[in-house]
Amino acid sequence: MTEPLSAIDAALLPPGIRSRFVDDINGLRMHVLEAGFETRDRPCILLLHGFPELAYSWRKVMPQPAAAGYHVLAPDQRGYGRTTGWDADYDGDLAPFRLLNLVRDALGLVAAFGYRHVEAVVGHDFGSSVAAWCALVRPDVFRAVALMSAPFAGPPPLPFGTADVPAAPKPEDPVHRDLAALPRPRKHYQWYYSTREANGDMQRAPQGVHDFLRGYYHHKSADWTGNRPFPLNSWTASELAKLPTYYVMRLGQTMAETVAEEMPSPAQIAANRWLPDLELAFYAGEYDRTGFQGGLQWYRCGTSGAFTAEHETYSGRSIDVPSCFISGRQDWGIYQRSGTIEAMQTTACSDMRGVHLIDHAGHWVQQEQPDEVSRLLLEFFTQAAGR
């Protein structure tokens, strides 16, 4: 029998943050970082990480809302870190990793802590998608939402007006064939992440997990000078090929090989203040133990299309609670799907309070610029509570 995982050593966390476990959360034993737990009856804030991150990714943000009087919860989500009760067998059931079940995980955690609602749910990267669906599906519980680095375009539309004129079959998306046919053949990272090989490529990276993550985080950060994003015109191979190789990869390369080409120098690593090697070592240790497949299952749910019909249940619905968007100005994630950030502001969110692009931050905005992220979040929480 496997011994239960231990809490994170307090020495690895900022003062005022504790690591603990909560059992029976939708079948999970959920690992949670918690701040502002010293007194009861505080309003609650829920923070949801993305890939390849952990609850630990919020360590620099959590103390500020806790000091402002909030109870702050940041779980390792399903498939990640020290949360257990999930099975990431590639040939296993994908359904537990679908977005609406991840919303159920968040709802269960909030309820376990005795809350009937939270003041806000905040999501970064893929956690932004979970946060968006939390606010869309249960606005009574998730009373405001801050989306970070990944804009939300809304639920997919239902076929409409087809009773007498049946809908034409959906054409095959040619973009993947067209990417492979480019003079420099390419592939989209989300479909690569959905392959059987992707987990092993990263967990058994030739450079080791630590250096793989160092290269990956560097490549998508403001430290990599090639991150100068601009809007794309369409979802076509010629436009997608303008994205950096961490999003639209060379056809024959793994992600480990992709980021190895942009590995920072020893001097750059030594100068890094937002993710020094000691903190990176925590991520590396967790992913070396768990692998990446738990997070990759989320991508497979999306690329498979298996749960589109479930999402269509909410066709036409918008997020109507107060919302905001925060990202690094050097983050290509804002534009990786053309039109998404515009749709978020015009149709997907009916009460958008602000879009904030933080300079000198790439994709890991809450780690690269935690003070500015904390300031913007606290300003938003206060504004949203006033409604």
Query: Which residues are identified as catalytic?
Result: 125, 363
Give the whole-angstrom CA distance, residue 156 versus residue 76: 28
Question: Residue written as tokens 């990176």?
Answer: 280
Amino acid symbol at 40 = R
Residue type, 100: L
Distance, C-alpha 386 to centroid of its chain: 28
Burial class (CB in 10 A: 0-12, 13-18, 19+), 206: exposed
Residue 333 to residue 318: CA distance in whole angstroms: 22
**In which residue are the tokens 């932004």 written?**
128
DSSP letter assigned to residue 98:
S
CA angle 72, 130, 10 (to 5 degrees): 35
DSSP 255-297: HHHHHHTTPPPHHHHHH-SSS-HHHHHHHHHHHHHH-SHHHHH
Distances (CA, A) of 131 to 67, 187, 261, 270: 23, 28, 33, 34
Quick one: which of 66, 96, 72, 83 has its CA closest to 30? Answer: 83
H or E element, residue 18: strand 17-25
The length of the chain, given as a count of residues: 387
b (16+ CB within 10 A) / e for 277-290:
eebbebbbebbeeb
Structure tokens at 39: 């007194």
d(CA 44, CA 53): 22
